[in-house]
Amino acid sequence: MRQPRNYLDVSSLPQRFAVFPLARTLLLPGSQLPLNIFEPRYLAMIDDALAHDRVVGMIQPHSEQPVGAVPMGISGLDRPRLYSVGCLGRLVSFSETGDGRYHIILNGICRFLVREELPVTTLYRQVVADFTPYASDLAPRNADQVDRPALLADLKRYLEQQQLSADWKAIENTPTEDLVNMLAMNCPFELPEKQALLEAQNLQERAATLMTLLQMAVAGTSPPPDTTLQ
């Protein structure tokens, strides 16, 4: 594999790239997302990414309709409206299985705002993106402003309410930024809730949104659809 490319500022990021619409799936800057690729259109997308910049944009569709559930072009059901914000990831690991699937790992680089979806001949979708609103994703993040004890307390109540077990020692030893992002990416929240976590302005706001969601889950309440929880 080629050596990873360093992206020092938004001007060094590609402006046009493929996007992978996947409901309730987040990629966050500085975090890694493993994916199992099996649909022909996305196998082609990975082939093309490997041949060029090795980047793919992860983005959520507004609809829960599974991507690729119907043939291309039928009522637009497999091309749901996309959220306006996603996260660019770089392919840092790639392996091919004996049955034609790919196992990949994306490393989150920077969030982006979709400026335009391109008319393309490829089976997968492509966008023109603007990274300027999220330039701070490329800078070191300050985890000191996150109320870690409160987050851990909310997480403990959530796990107890959901009757889930966890390696609490490992959780306590996880750096704050990694913990916030890991929970945001892996907790089974709904589409708009996941999007609110993605679009949080900074790590502190993401942690606050996460705590709100954990508290609401414990209380058995939920936000109105497409409400930003900040």
Q: Which domain holds residue 38?
A: 10-138
Q: Which residue is associated with the tokens 């990414």?
A: 49
Instruction: State the Cα–Cα distance between residues 57 and 18, nearest whole angstrom.
Output: 6
The answer to the question of residue 5 being in a domain is no
Both 14 and 105 in one domain: the answer is yes
Query: In the prediction, which pLDDT does 2 show?
Result: 40
SS3 call for 139: coil
**Residue 18: predicted pLDDT:** 97
Q: Is residue 191 part of a domain?
A: yes
pLDDT tens per residue, the chain (230 residues)? 343 456 778 999 999 999 999 999 999 999 999 999 999 999 999 999 999 999 999 999 987 554 443 333 333 346 789 999 999 999 999 999 989 999 999 999 999 999 999 999 999 999 999 999 999 999 988 888 999 999 999 999 999 998 888 899 999 999 999 999 999 999 999 999 999 999 999 999 999 999 999 999 999 865 554 444 43
Provide the 10 A C-beta neighbour count for residue 224.
6
Same domain, 112 and 169: no
112 & 158 share domain: no
One-letter amino acid at 182 equals: M
Does residue 225 lie within any of the structural domains? no
Are residue 78 and residue 113 in the same domain, yes or no? Answer: yes
Residue 227 resides in a domain: no
pLDDT at residue 98, as a whole number: 87
Q: Do 65 and 168 share a domain, yes or no?
A: no
Domain count, the chain: 2
